[in-house]
Copies of this chain bind each other. A is one copy, B any other.
Amino acid sequence: MIDIATRKERLSIISAILTNHPNHLYPLSYFSDLLGSAKSTLSEDISIIKETLKKYGQGEIEVLMGAGGGVRYLPFISDAEKRQVMKEILMKMQMPSRILPGGYVYTADIFYNPYYIDKFSRILWSFFSRANPDFIITAEAKGIPLAMGVAKLFDRPLVVVRKENKVTEGSVVTINYISGSSKRIQTMSLAKRAVSEGQKTIIIDDFIAGGGTVRAIFEMMKEFSITVLGCGAAISTRQPERKRIENYKSLMILEEVNEELQKLVVTSNI
């Protein structure tokens, strides 16, 4: 009886810990210390959890052998869930009440909603799941939750480029750039201590229109000799076709905003 109860406990607790900390490599000794079980027993538990998560489309478990090895959770989202989420979000995104004067689209309710951020982050992460960035980077402010969500899935920190220079950042590198949408010259700054030469990063933003902001982050990374492994956004616009950056992934395309006809068309891009 005691043995069965213990397996039940182990399955509950290991499953919770692994899935709550995606991509974090737990050595088996972490669980043997916590649960007082032999590593062979834990390996069996982990096989059961791995099969179960896979069966129910809740992500994958990866076991790395040898010294420095361990077990980690890969937060893949199933195709079925992806389709369902995209359907739901496209319906929400296309509500004509989002259209603002000037043809802008209100999206704060989506980009500050933990539920959508969680789903978007998982899908964006899955595009780059084989990459190994040292950090994720974005520009303040509306992209922060999404970029933070992706950073969490990579088990890496987020770095945020500021749109104005604050004294609370210390020494910064500042660059000027042309905003894609407003065509105005803008300033962007990044604290020198936030990153190190030779690191690798992925740029994440909520919205790519002209691509000016993302391009500016890209240029900023060059200043710091940092490699950009990829670039992802929740939404990109159909127009202009030619953006200031070339290779990026986006989950949705904003096809059309017609203020007069109160028509808003957004399509899936995955």
Contacts and interface: CB of A to CB of B under 8 A. Distances in A.
Nearest to A140: B141
B157 A109 contact: yes
Main secondary structure of the interface of A (DSSP, over half): helix
A159 B52 contact: no
B58 A13 contact: yes
Contact of A104 (B55, B105, B167): B167
B106 A169 contact: yes
Contacts of A38: none
A237 to B, nearest CB: 13
Interface stretch (A3-11, A225-233, A245-253): A3-11
A173 interface: no
A17 interface: yes
A155 B12 contact: no
A40 interface: no
A266 B12 CA distance: 37
A185 interface: no
A160 B148 contact: no
A65 B251 CA distance: 39
This chain: copies in complex = 2
Nearest to A11: B11
Interface in A154-205: 155-160, 162, 167-170, 191, 193-194
Contacts of A157: 109, 112-114
A51 B169 CA distance: 45
A171 B100 CA distance: 9
Given A152-B114, A167-B100, A191 B108 contact: yes
Interface in A33-70: 34-35, 48-49, 51-53, 55-56, 58
The 5 A-B pairs with the shortest beta carbon distances in the complex, nearest first, are A114-B152, A140-B141, A112-B158, A16-B19, A12-B15
12 contacts: A8-B48, A16-B58, A19-B20, A100-B167, A101-B170, A104-B167, A104-B170, A106-B170, A107-B168, A108-B159, A145-B158, A148-B148
Given A12-B12, A15-B16, 10 more contacts: A8-B11, A12-B48, A13-B52, A16-B18, A16-B53, A17-B58, A108-B169, A109-B157, A114-B155, A142-B160
